[in-house]
Structure 1
């Protein structure tokens, strides 16, 4: 049960464990990400807040999350924990993530081609459940969040 499906299972389990802890501290659990394997595995926890995220916020959450993970894993886990803000080019995973940023630009990579392509870059037009309408040039594509390999905001910086 290793690989993609194992991570989906573990991600849900970790989300259920960590979300209440992070919420109690006054933050939102935005996203979880696991990179690498074995001793070089990194568990990234992205947190958000209406007031933004500072280094002190990350430290507070890291302390509590680390303690919870040590108890849950009985100290057997081999990973490095990183807690950070999702940033300007934040990952978008759920329909709610996309809904918050209607009118903003996003980059989306799909697992399988949609209308002959896997990579999309456009404006988030609408969200219905977990279906996202993305306007790319003169086309609108309806993309399912569950079929997305990766999606991020694509901020435009004015000069």
Structure 2
């Protein structure tokens, strides 16, 4: 799919810029909304990102994207924080956020369900481990994870 190729190309171009500034590239989205294309990058760092972080990434990446020209039409570039309920995308995310409450959806039902909410225990081999509320745990193959997000706790 073209959208996925654009996001993958932009991710390759963005990782050196973002990591060079001491930040983490959490996700890249390339979507059409209201008849307009948006290229969204979500960045993070311990303690959270600032408006200056977003501006620095946007300015540096804008020049690189103009040169590489991976998108043949007009679009809006947005750089922001992933927010308090950030997505978990990489295997390292599931280790890094151990102990946090997570909401996870699978592509196909596992144990008769596709939606899971539990305390993240980390990973074992290629599976995400979630603690069940009443005890026990789910072992969910990473390949089956459609989406995973932190759940805000107050």
CA RMSD of aligned residues (A): 2.1
Compared with structure 1, are the counterparts of its residues 75 and 110 closer, same or farther at alpha carbon in structure 2 (3 Å cutoff)?
closer
Report the equivalent of 2:141.
144
Q: 1:94, 1:130 within 8 Å by CA — same for their partners in 2?
A: no
> Could you tell me the TM-score, scaled by structure 1's length?
0.84
Picking from 12, 18, 43, the partner of 2:14 is: 18
Q: CA deviation at 1:39?
A: 5.0
- Tell me how many residue pairs correspond in the alignment: 153
Report the equivalent of 2:115.
119
Looking at structure 2, the residues matched to 92 and 80 of structure 1 have their Cα atoms a distance apart, in angstroms, of 24
Report the equivalent of 2:58.
62
Q: CA deviation at 1:51?
A: 4.1
Unpaired runs of 5+ residues, structure 1, are none
Q: CA deviation at 1:129?
A: 4.8
1:156 aligns with 2:149: no
Looking at structure 1, the residues matched to 106 and 30 of structure 2 have their Cα atoms a distance apart, in angstroms, of 19
Report the equivalent of 1:29.
25
Report the equivalent of 1:104.
100
Report the equivalent of 1:41.
37
Looking at structure 2, the residues matched to 123 and 69 of structure 1 have their Cα atoms a distance apart, in angstroms, of 39
1:117-156 deviation line (CA, Å, top 9, x unaligned): 1111111012135421012323421123332222110021
> Could you tell me the TM-score, scaled by structure 2's length?
0.86
Runs of 4+ in 1 over 4 A off after TM superposition: none
Q: CA deviation at 1:55?
A: 0.7
